[in-house]
Structure 1
Amino acid sequence: MTTVPFDALACPLDGCTLVPGEKTWRCENGHSFDVARQGYVHLLPVQKKRTLDPGDSKEMVAARQRFLNAGFYIKIADLVSDQVLQWLPSEGTGSILDAGSGEGYYLRHLASLAGARDVSMIGVDISKWAVLAAAKRDKQTRWVVGSNANLPILPESLDLVLCLFGFPVYSEFARVLKLGGKVIQVDAGADHLRELREIIYPELKPPADTESTDPGGFRTLESTVVRFPLSLPDRESIADLLAMTPHLYRASSEGLEKAAALESLEVTVEVVLKCLEKC
């Protein structure tokens, strides 16, 4: 598989085509965006930020890197890659966006697989620390600081959108996908990390009702529950897993102290893998 950076970028201020230069991307209206020394482009205007430094912190990104690089979620990465290879167009260069790409683990895993098809890839994340980490490791993907709510992508320019443990914005996904393009989505299932949640919370909330209609502009092609046990052998791996989930901020100090005291932990991984088609 040959991977190249995705170049059909749009100005986040007016939606016009961005033209790349050696150090700057510009649109016809004169808006310009510098390329960072590490190679990524910052396309999240300050007026569209809710906080000064949105998204995952530098420490959270480092925790996710350690956890994912240790191979704990390799089964999920394999399943996602299988889905991508199934739905990539058979001819030409397929185009893929990871919406909420984090430090780039899933796109790197995809790119590492053998295959004859060419792909053009872009990772977008609201955390500059995540994008910085991704750009340092992978120069064959376009890395962008941006928001799923306002993707800096030209309309109908993508074959596939990945949204893995992220925040889907289906109206934006529909805008940037070609007709017949696919969304491959991974969400936490009802029993995901149940054993950890039982330790850090006084009681667990009942699972949310997952019955819902297809999002506007899409139809569901597949929906599969994937479940497997996971052994966390030490305090560090437990702490890293906790740091890459919302539970780090939702749990009480008492719950976090209980988790910090654990020497090892067996947890259940349960995710829902969906494939949606733009119609």
Structure 2
Amino acid sequence: MSLFRCPICSAPLTRGERTYTCPNGHSYDISKEGYVHLLPPNQMHSKTPGDDKAMVAARNRFLSAGYYQPLRTALEELALRYAPAPCAVVDSGCGEGYYTAGIAQALREAGRSPAVAGIDISKFALRWAAKRDRETEFAVGSAYRLPVPDGCAHLLVNCFSPLAAEEFHRVLKPGGVFLYVVPAPEHLWELKEVLYDTPYPNPDETIPYEGFQLLEVVPVETMLHIENPEDLQALFQMTPYCWKTPKAGVERLRALSQLEVRAGFRIHVFRRDMA
């Protein structure tokens, strides 16, 4: 049974060999990589919304090298703590599926029989995601109009992606849990020192969201030992810094062959109210 619903009429979708179909006759082709496009044209603000091919490739290279494994491990542990058996999991802004695949695998190995859906607005990201994990469903869609039914998910994950609290409340079951990952104040500080003359820390705040109770904030801290310029450039290209760094900062980074840089994350764990 698919977690997806039709973006036109909201009816349940059934996955076939090559298409998803709904009872009202709407049909959506499954790409050769394995994802489906469920973002209607009137919700697309450009021809190819979301992260482009180069940014996606850089992030896939960096994440696949294991630099952010501590964050993935922490998310897996939280999923095992909060997800029942069986369970449904939605990853909003799943990107290349690195964290989605880790969570899905941990739940499968623990016998939780998860149904997992990853949703991202970038088709380039989903090409990697769908190849990374063939058992998980992936769809092009908007975080603000997730193509899944009301109250379908026991667990919702959001890593460095747009936060749509009202939509996440709709999608989660009463009592369901939302894992929200944000950068810690000094995340990638040493990289920022190379790029900018006066770097500034990220805000460290916990914002209450209507309809959710904050259960805990889990810090994840690690030092990255980046020992080749290719991975260093991949880190830079996968961040928003690549869009707004002065030319002098870019040149300073290109002159480096290695860098030790701290990575810090905060996982905010929210529970949806029962109402």
**Range class of TM-score, shorter chain:** over 0.9
Q: Distance in 1 between matches of 2:204 and 2:53?
A: 34
| Structure 1 range deviating more: 199-208 or 79-88 | 199-208
Q: How does 1:181-260 map to 2 (within 5 A)?
A: 181-205=176-200, 207-208=202-203, 210-212=205-207, 214-260=208-254
**Deviation, structure 1 residue 35:** 1.4
Q: Distance in 1 between matches of 2:116 and 2:3?
A: 11
Amino acid at match of 1:17: P
Partner of 1:176: 171
Q: Distance in 1 between matches of 2:178 and 2:60?
A: 24
Per-residue CA distance 1:19-60 (angstroms, 9 max, x = gap): 333322233443321111222110011211111111111121
- Kindly indicate whether residue 78 of structure 2 is the aligned counterpart of residue 83 of structure 1: yes
**Deviation, structure 1 residue 209:** 5.8
Partner of 2:266: 272
Partner of 1:98: 91
**Deviation, structure 1 residue 211:** 4.6
Amino acid at match of 2:235: L
Runs of 4+ with deviation above 6 angstroms? none
**Deviation, structure 1 residue 151:** 0.2
Partner of 2:128: 133
Q: How many equivalent residue pairs? A: 271
**Deviation, structure 1 residue 116:** 2.2
- Kindly indicate whether residue 23 of structure 2 is the aligned counterpart of residue 25 of structure 1: no
Q: How does 1:141-160 map to 2 (within 5 A)?
A: 141-160=136-155
| Structure 1 range deviating more: 29-38 or 245-254 | 29-38
Q: Distance in 1 between matches of 2:169 and 2:83?
A: 17
- Kindly indicate whether residue 109 of structure 2 is the aligned counterpart of residue 109 of structure 1: no
- Kindly indicate whether residue 266 of structure 2 is the aligned counterpart of residue 262 of structure 1: no
Two-structure CA RMSD over aligned residues (Å) = 1.6
- Kindly indicate whether residue 127 of structure 2 is the aligned counterpart of residue 121 of structure 1: no
Per-residue CA distance 1:239-271 (angstroms, 9 max, x = gap): 111111111112122211111111111111111
Amino acid at match of 2:90: L
Is residue 186–residue 201 contact of structure 2 (8 Å, CA) maintained in 1? no
| Structure 1 range deviating more: 264-273 or 23-32 | 23-32
Name the TM-score, length of structure 1 as normaliser.
0.92
Q: Distance in 2 between matches of 1:17 and 1:267?
A: 46
Structure 1 vs Structure 2: percent identity of aligned residues?
37
Name the TM-score, length of structure 2 as normaliser.
0.93
